[in-house]
Chain A
Amino acid sequence: MHLTPRATQRIVFGALTAAMVLVIIPLIFVIGYIVVQGAGAISWEFLSGMPRNGMREGGILPAIVGTLFLTLGTAIFSVPIGIGGGIYLAEYAADTPLTRAIRLSIINLAGVPSVVYGLFGLGLFVLFLQFGTSILAGSLTLGILTLPVIISTSEEAIRSVPQSFRVVNAAVGGTKWQGIRRIVLPQALPGIITGVILGLERAAGETAPILFTVAAFFLPRLPHSIFDQTMALPYHLFVISTQVPSMPVQIQYGTALVLIVFVLSMNLTATLIRRHYRRRRQW
Chain B
Amino acid sequence: METPAKIELQHVHFAYEDHEVLHDINLRIPPNQIFVLFGPAGSGKSTLLRLLNRLTDFSPEETHLQGKVLLDGQDIFAPDVDVTRLRQRAGMVFAKPVPLPLSIRDNITYGLTLGGRRDRSTLDETVERSLHAAALWDEVKDRLDDPGMALSGGQQQRLCLARTLALQPEVVLLDEPTSGLDPISTLQVEEALFQLRESVTFIVVPHSVQQAARVADRAAFLLMGELVEEGPADVLFTRPKDKRTEDYVTGRFG
B-binding residues in A (CB < 8 A): 162, 164-165, 167-175, 178, 182-183, 186-187, 281-283
Chain B residues touching A, range? 20 to 34
> Is B167 in the interface zone, CB < 8 Å from A?
yes
Interchain CB contact under 8 A, A173 and B58: no
Beta-carbon contacts under 8 Å, B154-169 to A: 163-164, 167
Interchain CB contact under 8 A, A174 and B53: no
Interchain CB contact under 8 A, A172 and B147: no
Smallest CB gap from A168: residue in B: B98
Smallest CB gap from A280: residue in B: B147
CB distance from A184 to the nearest CB of B (A): 10
> Is B150 in the interface zone, CB < 8 Å from A?
yes
Q: Give Cα A171 to B96, complex, Å.
A: 14
Smallest CB gap from A282: residue in B: B149
Q: Chain A binding site: helix, strand, loop or mixed by DSSP?
A: helix
Q: Give Cα A170 to B90, complex, Å.
A: 12
Q: Give Cα A182 to B87, complex, Å.
A: 18
User: 14 more A-B contacts (CB under 8 A) besides A171-B164, A183-B102?
Assistant: A164-B96, A167-B94, A168-B98, A168-B100, A170-B55, A171-B87, A173-B87, A173-B111, A173-B115, A178-B114, A183-B100, A282-B101, A282-B147, A282-B149
Contact flag A282-B150 (CB < 8 Å), given A171-B92, A172-B91, A175-B84: yes
Question: Which one, B58, B149, B150, B167, contacts A172 given CB within 8 A?
Answer: B167
Smallest CB gap from B98: residue in A: A164
A169 cross-chain contacts in B, Cβ below 8 A:
100, 110
B163 cross-chain contacts in A, Cβ below 8 A:
172
Interchain CB contact under 8 A, B58 and A170: yes
Question: Which one, A162, A164, A172, contacts B111 given CB within 8 A?
Answer: A172
A168 cross-chain contacts in B, Cβ below 8 A:
94, 98, 100
Smallest CB gap from A184: residue in B: B101
A283 cross-chain contacts in B, Cβ below 8 A:
101, 149
Interchain CB contact under 8 A, A187 and B101: yes
A-binding residues in B (CB < 8 A): 53, 55, 58, 84-85, 87-88, 91-92, 94, 96, 98, 100-102, 110-111, 114-115, 147, 149-150, 163-164, 167
Interchain CB contact under 8 A, A167 and B115: no
B98 cross-chain contacts in A, Cβ below 8 A:
162, 164-165, 167-168
CB distance from B97 to the nearest CB of A (A): 10
A182 cross-chain contacts in B, Cβ below 8 A:
110, 114
What are 14 A-B contacts with C-beta separation under 8 Å? A162-B98, A164-B94, A164-B96, A167-B58, A169-B100, A171-B53, A172-B114, A174-B84, A174-B110, A182-B114, A183-B101, A281-B101, A283-B101, A283-B149
Interchain CB contact under 8 A, A172 and B88: yes
Contact flag A173-B167 (CB < 8 Å), given A164-B98, A168-B98: yes
Q: Give Cα A186 to B49, complex, Å.
A: 30
Which of B91, B114, B147, B163: most chain A Cβ within 10 A?
B114
